[in-house]
A and B are shown apart, each in its own frame.
Chain A
Amino acid sequence: MRDEGITRHSQQLLAGIAHELKTPLTLISGLSAELQEPTLASRQFQQYVQRIQFSSDRLIGLVDSILRGYELEQEMLELHFEPINAELIMDEVAHELEPHAKKQAQLLAVRSKQKSTIIADRGCLHAVLFNLLDNAIKYSNPESTIEMEARCRSGKAQLVVKDYGAGIKKSELKKLFSQFGRVQRPVPQWASTTGLGLYIARQLTEAMNGTLDLSRRRNGTSFLVNLQLSHQLSLFEL
């Protein structure tokens, strides 16, 4: 029975990964083919080249986070904790995913009430924020704003990714958290349909001694990444 569970887990995981990667791969393949079209205007040629570049970067980001999730499950992931400027890393991720948001005329806004330095593994934190923002873009309404904010809550740094989408139903929320909470957890059912992003983001956040919480709002969802500040008592770097 356990073997069957593992096989089903692997199949779901593989299906989820494959689906995630198909859109950027399809774009790279299709756009590259169109570059050879002799009637393509030069402005369009440039635009297609940029889109190939962005799709490749997004693909790398997705593969990178999937690999980190896999390494974590296999207990192969080595974390290197260091002080990281929260606002800078949020800016970096927002910059990488900005073209993805522009596709739907969405605006990305990064703000920080205080300069906060957190202790985290840079690659893992990048993967967490990349997944959360990628997910927010995917499920937010067109022409909406997606906000990223660094703030301090109860002596911890809190990095927020706030979307204005359809939100998550209460029933879905319960399922989401119960699936997350299992020790020997299979990839949750929703992971193959709504992407692996949240699943991986939560795993990686917990590996960095943090928590990933979700706050439902009437007009969307906020994902809250709680991590340790670099100085327990002197909270902010000025």
Chain B
Amino acid sequence: MISILLVEDDAWLRELYGQALERLKDVSMEYAESAGAALKILDSRSVDLIILDIFLDTHSGVELLHELASYNDTRLTPVVILSAVSESDFGMDHKRWGQYGVVKYLYKPSTKPQDLVNAVELHFSKRTTKGDI
């Protein structure tokens, strides 16, 4: 079973993307509406993938990325960024993606739920091919 944590502050978007991902076989979803709620979940269990919105209410997804990279048990967790900020505006150099575990950047307004599902499937199929899981 693959576990995915979806961090998204808009309840309807969380539900929309989450329900599409739940259609995947052998996937168990966890949800967090804020960076704080995500850290609470990650304190108690590890996940195989984090899907992260960048603009969150209290502290931003960028701060969460930094925190995740600073802890031994989360620094290797792959992250898909799902953001309303375009990749060029976000401005993180691809060379630094690895440092924060970022494996994919998706621009939210043009990402249909099925696009996210496809990206997640592709990520895990690559990892399976490499023998990571």
Other A-B contacts than A26-B108, A27-B10, A31-B16, 16 sampled, CB-CB below 8 A, are A22-B108, A26-B13, A26-B84, A26-B109, A26-B111, A27-B16, A29-B112, A30-B16, A30-B111, A33-B112, A34-B20, A34-B112, A34-B113, A103-B10, A104-B11, A142-B33
Task: Please give me the 10 A-B residue pairs with the lowest Cβ-Cβ distance, nearest first.
Answer: A103-B11, A33-B112, A22-B84, A26-B109, A30-B16, A26-B108, A22-B109, A30-B113, A34-B113, A25-B109
A39 within 8 A of B: yes
Residues 4-35 (chain A) with a chain B CB within 8 angstroms = 19, 22-23, 25-27, 29-31, 33-34
**Chain B, residue nearest A141 (CB):** B57
Q: How many residues of B contact A (CB 8 A)?
A: 19
A51 within 8 A of B: yes
**Chain B, residue nearest A31 (CB):** B16
B17 within 8 A of A: yes
B46 within 8 A of A: no
B114 within 8 A of A: yes
Question: Complex: how many Å from CA A31 to CA B13?
Answer: 9
- B11, B19, B57, B109: the one within 8 Å of A29 (CB): B109
Nearest-CB distance from A104 to chain B (Å)? 6
Listed in ascending order, the chain B residues whose CB lies under 8 Å from chain A are 10-13, 16-17, 19-20, 23, 33, 57, 84, 108-114
Give 15 pairs: A residue, B residue, CB < 8 Å, sorted on A.
A22-B108, A22-B109, A23-B10, A26-B84, A26-B108, A26-B109, A26-B111, A30-B17, A31-B16, A33-B114, A34-B19, A34-B112, A55-B12, A103-B10, A103-B12
Nearest-CB distance from B105 to chain A (Å)? 15
| Contact A51 to B11, CB < 8 A, known contacts A22-B84, A22-B108, A33-B112 | no
Question: Complex: how many Å from CA A39 to CA B117?
Answer: 15
Question: Complex: how many Å from CA A34 to CA B20?
Answer: 8
**Chain A, residue nearest B55 (CB):** A19
Instruction: Flag if A23 contacts B11 (CB, 8 Å).
Output: no
